[in-house]
Amino acid sequence: MKLLNIAWRNVFRHTRRTIITAAAISVGLSSMIFMNTMMNGADKMASRNIIDFETSHLEVFAKDYYREEGVFPLDTIIENPRYIADGIKDIPGIKGITPRVKFQASISNGIDELPVLGMGIDIENDRRIFETGNSVVAGRYLQNSGDVLIGTDLANDMSLEVGSYITIITKDRNGTYNAFDLEVAGLLNTGHPLFDRNMAVIPIAQAQELLAIEEGVTEMCIRAIDEETLGPLKEKVSEEIGAQYEVFTWKEMNAAIFEISGFKRAGQFMIGLVVVIIAAVGIINTMLMAVMERIPEIGTLKAMGFTNSRIVRMFIYEGGIIGAFGSALGCLIGLLISIYLVHVGLDFSGLFENVDIVYPMKFIIKGEIDYVNMLYVFLFGILVSVIVTLWPVRKATKLEPVDALRHV
């Protein structure tokens, strides 16, 4: 306890130097917390967009369809979706099932023509599984044959509004081009770039007619009650429907997205590491100056019987105290920034509004606070401060009392 008291007084003998050093630590740690909060928020928003608009928790395909999903083959679709729905509806853990039909198409407003991803949905069932119906920001949800929902970004690109008419053009199962005239019933703003910029949503019966696939669908989407049970649920569904179908979880279908997330995390770690190294250099400099200034004191302590280990502990306590102050300040700043991110967010859409991205979210990022990580950051700051103190302390332990006292 006596050593701790001495260390405490020594730390605040040079208040300005201590504050500057602690501030350097706080900048590094608060930046780590900020980046972690932002990345967590981005990952959560992307995950929710995938689940709520694109795939739900599980998707069922006809065997070999998913292997060629990028070209939307119509010769390997689910011909009898009712068989799957009836077969798995009573499996515990399933909240709902809905069919979808996805296809490549283009739309024209009479002047311009743009490629889109067409999607036919079961108007009633889809609302129980996905959030598409809750994302209509103008007009109304699908009601009748001939209605179409498009994203706000696509509407802006083609100068469309509610009530405008467009023509959707695609090639059917027989290789024949078909075209339907549709009325824009509503505009979607989902936060998912694929939907808001590239999607045309129509009733499933109209999509089946357009593609000449009778009652066939490209996929069956399953919503789970508990996201933590997708592995066992996938196995039960696979067993029930047989080997002629394939089941994938949303994570399996979006592995590339998680690779991108891994790269982001690595970049976050490297940036944080650089900032912490800069802060560590500041601590080393502070402790070196403290050792050089207090050589006579160290000599006196040694002459009074202080051992090297006690002197090392004293300086370690000093480094730990500075680290604790810097870490506490860094965590406080990081928490305040994180709270702002959670409630307000950062809008990067102006930088990327004309850039096509594969990440399933717009660049309006709201954070997600990880309090456990914040605790780790706090302890990490103290640990780094203590560790980097050891090198300058070696100079103090090598001093002989007689040599040290000559500096008096």
Mean of the per-residue pLDDT values of the chain: 83
pLDDT, residue 72, reads 84
Mean of pLDDT values over 292-319: 74
Q: Identify whether residues 180 and 303 lie together within a single domain.
A: no
Chosen domain end from 226, 252, 278: 252
Give the sign of the dihedral formed by CA 7, CA 14, CA 319, CA 408: negative
The residue range of the domain holding 197 is 56-252
Q: How many CA atoms lie within 13 A of 156 on its CB side?
A: 9
| pLDDT per position as a tens digit, 186-219 | 999 888 888 888 899 999 999 999 999 999 999 9
Structure tokens at 72: 């939307």
Q: Report percent pLDDT > 70 for the chain.
A: 86
112 and 169 share one domain: yes
Read off the pLDDT of residues 134-175 as tens digits, 9 standing for 90 and up: 999 999 999 988 999 999 989 998 999 999 999 999 999 988
Based on the fold, state whether residues 31 and 102 are members of the same structural domain: no
- For residue 10, is pLDDT > 80? no
Alpha carbon 83 to its chain centroid, in Å, reads: 36
Note the Cα 323 to chain centre separation in Å.
Answer: 30
Q: What is the pLDDT of residue 103?
A: 94
Can you give the pLDDT at residue 351?
Answer: 54
pLDDT of 353-371, one tens digit each?
Answer: 555 555 555 667 778 888 9
Residue 293 in this model has a pLDDT that exceeds 90 = no
The least confident of 7-21, 91-105, 235-249, 282-296 is 282-296
Domain endpoint, select from 252, 279, 307: 252
Q: Are residues 71 and 174 in the same domain?
A: yes
Look at residues 217, 237, 252 and tell me which one is the last residue of a structural domain: 252
Q: What is the mean pLDDT of residues 17-30?
A: 82
More confident residue, 407 or 161: 161
- Looking at residue 357, what is its pLDDT? 53
Q: How many domains does the chain have?
A: 2
Torsion of CA 206, 209, 210, 214, to 10 degrees: 120
Three-state secondary structure call for residue 56: coil
pTM (two decimals) = 0.75
The pLDDT value given to residue 363:
60
Answer yes or no: do 306 and 248 share one domain: no
